Chains A and B, each alone.
Chain A
Amino acid sequence: MKPETVVDFDVALIERARRGDAKAFERLYREHVGRVNGLCLRMTRNPDLAADCVQDAFIKAWKALPRFEARSSFSTWLHRIAVNTVLEKRRGSANAEIAVEDPSEFEEPAMVLDSPVEEEELEAAIESLPQGARDALVLCGLYGYEHSEAASMLGIAVGTCKAQLHRARGLLKDRLERGVR
C-alpha cells in the first residue's frame, strides 16, 4: 500500500486501548469506521451485511490488540481483519481462481478511466463486477494496496490477484461503455 502515516495520536490511543481503555478504542473506531465500512460495503454490496462485518471486525481487533505490532499501520491491520471477516461471512462462495502463467503480463498503470464518468455510475459498475474481480479492484484500485498485500488479505496468489484486477478493469471498461444501470 502507498505508505500511510502512522500518526502519533493513533499510537497513543492504541497503547491506551491495549491496556483496556475502551474510550481510547472508541476514538480509534470513530476515526477508522468510515474507511472500514467503505471497504466492507464494496466487498459485500449489502449495507446490513457490511455493518455486521464492521462490527465483528472491530470486536476482533479489540481482542487482538495485544498482538498488534505498533510499527505496522493500524489502518492496514484493521482492513486485513475486515477483509477476513467479509470472507468468513461469505462462507462457501470461494473466490474464483484464475490460472496465471505469467503474472507480469498483468502489471497495470494507475486506475485511470478512458473518459470521466459519474460517481454513481462508477459505483454501480464496480458493484456489478464478479466477486473476485471486485475484491481485487476495491483493495488495489481504490484502497491502494499492493498486489502482495491484497493477495495476502484475500488468501489468493499474487498472480491471481493481478489477473483478477486485469479482469476487473476489462469488465469495468465494458460496463461503463455499455452503461450499467
Chain B
Amino acid sequence: MNKRLSRIDELAREIPPARDLWPAIAAAIEADKAAAGVPAQSRRRAGWWPAAGLAASVALVAIGVLIGENIGHQPVQQAGIPAHSTNPAVMPATLRDAEYRKQRDALWVEVRAKLQAMPPAERAKVGASLDTLRRSITEIEAALGRDPANALLQELLVNSCQEEMRALTVVRDSGREEIGT
C-alpha cells in the first residue's frame, strides 16, 4: 500500500540494506584488531613461540572459514605445511601478482627451516596454527571457486593472505631479537 504524504519529512528515514552488511564489517574489524595487535605482541614474545601473532591471524581467517561453510562446504585437504594449491582463476588481482607469490613461497621455505630447528612441542603448536591459516585460505578459495564474483569472499581472501604473510614473518623472525640482544 502506497501512503500519501503531505511533508517531505514524513518519508521513512530508515531503509534497511538489502543484505546484512555486518559480516564484512566484522571481518574488517578483526583485520584491524589483528593489524594493531600483532606487531606489539610479537615484539613482546621474542622467543621461539610467536603464539600471540598467530592467534590473531588465525582468529581473522576463522571468519573466512565460517563464511565459506555458510556458502557451502566442500572437503578440504589437510594442509600440513602446504603445497600451494591456489587456483589463479579465483584469485583477486593483487594475489595473482608474481612478486607476491615469489615472496610468499620464499617465506615458506624459511619458515619450514625454522620449524625444523624448533623443539618438538613448539614445532607442533606453530605448525598447527599455520595449518589452520592455510586451511582457512583453502576454504575461502574453494568458496570463491563456487562464487567467483563474491566481493566479500575476495576481500576475505586478500585479508587472509595478508595475515598469512604477517604470520610467516612473525615465525621467521622469532628468536632474532634474543639472538641479537
| B12 touches A (CB below 8 Å) | yes
A118 pairs with B3, CB closer than 8 A? yes
**Which one of B6, B15, B28, B30 lies within 8 Å of A38 (CB-CB)?**
B15
Measured in the bound complex, the distance between the Cα atoms of B126 and A154 in whole Å is 50
| Contact present for A116 and B25 (CB under 8 Å) | no
Give the complex CA separation of A38 and B12 in angstroms.
Answer: 8
B153 to chain A, nearest CB (A): 15
Chain B, residue nearest A41 (CB)? B15
Q: Interface majority SS on A: helix, strand, loop or mixed?
A: helix
- Measured between alpha carbons, how far is A111 from B19 in the docked complex, in Å? 31
Decide if B24 is an interface residue (CB 8 Å cutoff). yes
Does chain B have a CB within 8 A of A33? Answer: yes
Binds B, one of A8-16, A90-98, A140-148, A156-164: A140-148
**Do the beta carbons of A142 and B9 come within 8 Å of each other?**
yes
CB neighbours (8 Å) of A123 from chain B are 11
**Residue B32, interface by CB 8 Å:** yes
We find that the number of chain A residues with CB closer than 8 angstroms to chain B is 41
Residues of B within 8 A of A101 (CB): none
Contact call A122/B11, Cβ cutoff below 8 A: yes
Give the CA-CA distance A29 to B26 in the complex, in Å.
10
Closest 3 CB pairs of A and B: A34-B14, A111-B8, A38-B15
**Using a CB–CB distance below 8 Å, which chain B residues touch chain A?**
2-9, 11-19, 21-22, 24-26, 28-30, 32-33
Chain A residues with CB under 8 Å of chain B are 20, 22, 25-26, 29-30, 33-35, 37-39, 41, 47, 50-51, 54-55, 58-59, 62-63, 110-113, 115-120, 122-123, 126, 137, 141-144, 172
